[in-house]
Amino acid sequence: MWRWDADTLAQVLRDACQAHGDGCDSRGVPVRVAEFDHWRWERLDQARIEGDDRLHLPSRAAYRRPFPTWERALVECCDFTVEEVRGRLGGGASRASGSPTEKARATARGKAA
Protein backbone atom coordinates (compact mmCIF):
# COMPACT_ATOMS: atom_id res chain seq x y z
CA MET A 1 0.00 0.00 0.00
CA TRP A 2 1.33 3.38 -1.01
CA ARG A 3 1.62 5.91 1.84
CA TRP A 4 1.33 9.61 1.19
CA ASP A 5 2.68 12.30 3.48
CA ALA A 6 0.55 15.30 4.43
CA ASP A 7 2.54 17.73 2.26
CA THR A 8 2.09 15.60 -0.86
CA LEU A 9 -1.63 15.13 -0.25
CA ALA A 10 -2.05 18.87 0.21
CA GLN A 11 -0.02 19.78 -2.89
CA VAL A 12 -1.88 17.35 -5.13
CA LEU A 13 -5.26 18.60 -3.92
CA ARG A 14 -4.14 22.23 -4.41
CA ASP A 15 -3.02 21.37 -7.96
CA ALA A 16 -6.42 19.86 -8.75
CA CYS A 17 -8.22 22.91 -7.36
CA GLN A 18 -5.99 25.30 -9.32
CA ALA A 19 -6.62 23.34 -12.52
CA HIS A 20 -10.36 23.91 -12.08
CA GLY A 21 -10.02 27.61 -11.29
CA ASP A 22 -10.78 30.52 -13.56
CA GLY A 23 -7.56 32.38 -12.81
CA CYS A 24 -9.22 34.92 -10.49
CA ASP A 25 -8.03 33.19 -7.32
CA SER A 26 -4.65 31.50 -7.04
CA ARG A 27 -6.28 28.74 -4.97
CA GLY A 28 -8.60 27.77 -7.80
CA VAL A 29 -11.96 26.37 -6.76
CA PRO A 30 -12.89 23.58 -4.34
CA VAL A 31 -13.13 20.45 -6.48
CA ARG A 32 -15.79 17.81 -6.12
CA VAL A 33 -14.61 14.24 -5.63
CA ALA A 34 -15.57 13.33 -9.21
CA GLU A 35 -13.67 16.34 -10.55
CA PHE A 36 -10.61 15.32 -8.56
CA ASP A 37 -10.84 11.77 -9.93
CA HIS A 38 -11.16 13.07 -13.49
CA TRP A 39 -8.23 15.48 -13.08
CA ARG A 40 -6.10 12.71 -11.58
CA TRP A 41 -6.79 10.25 -14.42
CA GLU A 42 -6.11 12.94 -17.04
CA ARG A 43 -2.73 13.67 -15.43
CA LEU A 44 -1.82 9.97 -15.26
CA ASP A 45 -2.93 9.36 -18.85
CA GLN A 46 -0.94 12.35 -20.11
CA ALA A 47 2.16 11.14 -18.28
CA ARG A 48 1.82 7.70 -19.84
CA ILE A 49 1.38 9.22 -23.32
CA GLU A 50 4.60 11.18 -22.72
CA GLY A 51 6.38 7.99 -21.66
CA ASP A 52 6.47 8.75 -17.93
CA ASP A 53 5.28 5.64 -16.12
CA ARG A 54 6.77 6.85 -12.82
CA LEU A 55 4.10 9.43 -12.01
CA HIS A 56 1.98 8.43 -9.02
CA LEU A 57 -0.85 10.54 -7.64
CA PRO A 58 -2.93 9.76 -4.58
CA SER A 59 -6.48 8.63 -5.16
CA ARG A 60 -9.37 10.02 -3.18
CA ALA A 61 -9.03 7.04 -0.83
CA ALA A 62 -5.70 8.43 0.42
CA TYR A 63 -7.55 11.43 1.84
CA ARG A 64 -9.96 9.35 3.94
CA ARG A 65 -7.48 8.46 6.66
CA PRO A 66 -6.18 11.93 7.58
CA PHE A 67 -9.43 13.80 6.86
CA PRO A 68 -12.89 12.79 8.08
CA THR A 69 -14.60 14.43 5.08
CA TRP A 70 -13.72 15.74 1.63
CA GLU A 71 -14.82 19.17 2.86
CA ARG A 72 -12.26 19.03 5.68
CA ALA A 73 -9.50 18.02 3.22
CA LEU A 74 -10.28 21.07 1.07
CA VAL A 75 -10.35 23.39 4.08
CA GLU A 76 -7.12 22.11 5.62
CA CYS A 77 -5.10 21.53 2.44
CA CYS A 78 -6.20 24.45 0.30
CA ASP A 79 -7.12 27.17 2.81
CA PHE A 80 -10.71 27.44 1.63
CA THR A 81 -13.28 28.43 4.20
CA VAL A 82 -16.05 26.01 5.10
CA GLU A 83 -18.51 28.42 3.46
CA GLU A 84 -16.50 28.46 0.20
CA VAL A 85 -16.41 24.69 0.09
CA ARG A 86 -20.09 24.26 0.93
CA GLY A 87 -21.01 26.90 -1.61
CA ARG A 88 -19.18 25.02 -4.34
CA LEU A 89 -20.07 21.48 -3.27
CA GLY A 90 -23.65 22.23 -2.37
CA GLY A 91 -23.54 20.87 1.15
CA GLY A 92 -22.11 17.45 0.34
CA ALA A 93 -23.35 15.01 -2.23
CA SER A 94 -20.65 12.37 -1.98
CA ARG A 95 -19.57 9.89 0.66
CA ALA A 96 -16.41 11.86 1.28
CA SER A 97 -18.27 15.10 1.83
CA GLY A 98 -21.17 14.10 4.04
CA SER A 99 -23.51 11.62 2.35
CA PRO A 100 -26.60 10.33 4.12
CA THR A 101 -24.67 7.16 5.01
CA GLU A 102 -21.85 9.17 6.59
CA LYS A 103 -24.36 11.36 8.46
CA ALA A 104 -26.16 8.26 9.76
CA ARG A 105 -22.88 6.84 11.03
CA ALA A 106 -22.07 10.11 12.81
CA THR A 107 -25.55 10.18 14.36
CA ALA A 108 -25.20 6.57 15.52
CA ARG A 109 -21.81 7.35 17.08
CA GLY A 110 -23.33 10.36 18.83
CA LYS A 111 -26.20 8.31 20.29
CA ALA A 112 -23.81 5.59 21.42
CA ALA A 113 -21.73 8.09 23.41
**Entry pTM:** 0.75
Whether 22 is covered by a domain: the verdict is: yes
57: in domain: yes
Q: What residue numbers bound the domain in which 22 lies?
A: 6-112
83 within some domain: yes
| pLDDT score, position 26 | 81
**Could you tell me if residue 1 is inside a domain?**
no
φ/ψ region of 31 (left if φ > 0, alpha if ψ in -120 to 50, else beta) reads beta
Average pLDDT over residues 71-90: 94
> Looking at the 3D structure of the chain, how many domains does it have?
1
pLDDT of residue 91: 66
Extract the runs of DSSP E, i.e. beta strands, from 1-113. Answer: none
Residue 104 has pLDDT above 70, yes or no: no
